[in-house]
Structure 1
Amino acid sequence: MRRFWLPLLAFAALVALLAAALWRPPAPPGGAAMVGQPAPTLRLARLDAPQRSLGRDDLLGRPWVLNVWASWCAPCRQEMPALKALAATGHVPVVGLNHKDEAAQASAWLAREGDPFVANLVDADGHAGLEWGVVAVPETFVIDRDGIVRFKHSGVLTEALVRERLLPLLESLGG
Structure 2
Amino acid sequence: MAGGIRKSVLIPVAVFLLIGGVLFSVAAGTRDVTGEGYLDRPLPEFSQPPLIGDERGLAAEDIRGEVALINVFASWCALCLSEHPMLMRLAAEEGVPLYGLNWKDRPGAGRRFLDRHGDPYLATGEDAAGRLGAQLAVTGVPETYLVDAEGRIRYRHVGALTEQVWQEVLRPLIRDLERPS
TM-score interval, normalised by the smaller of the two chains: 0.7 to 0.9
1:84 Cα shift?
Answer: 1.5
Out of 57, 69, 72, the position equivalent to 1:68 is: 72
Matched letter for residue 74 of structure 2: A
1:24-173 aligned within 5 A = 25-47=29-51, 52-173=56-177
Task: Work out which of the two has the higher radius of gyration on C-alpha atoms and give 1 or 2.
Answer: 1
TM-score using structure 2 length: 0.77
2:101 alignment partner AA: L
The Cα of 1:25 is off from its aligned counterpart by 4.9
Name the SS of the counterpart of 1:129 in structure 2.
helix
**Letter of the 2:48 counterpart:** L
The CA deviation at 1:167 is: 1.0
> SS at 2:144's partner residue?
strand
3-state SS in 1 of match to 2:178? coil
Moved over 6 A (4+): none
TM-score by length of 1: 0.79
Q: How many percent identity over aligned positions? A: 37
Q: Partner of 1:9 in structure 2?
A: none
SS in structure 1 of the partner of residue 35 of structure 2: helix
How many Å apart are 1:58 and its aligned residue?
Answer: 2.6
Q: How far has the Cα of 1:48 moved from its partner?
A: 5.7
Cα distance in 1 between the residues matched to 2:91 and 2:58: 18
RMSD: 2.3
What amino acid does structure 1 have at the position aligned with 2:168? E
* CA-CA distance at 1:28 after TM superposition: 3.6
**CA distance in 1: counterparts of 2:29 and 2:128, whole angstroms:** 34
- Gaps in structure 1 of 5+ consecutive residues: 1-20
Number of the residue aligned with 1:5: none
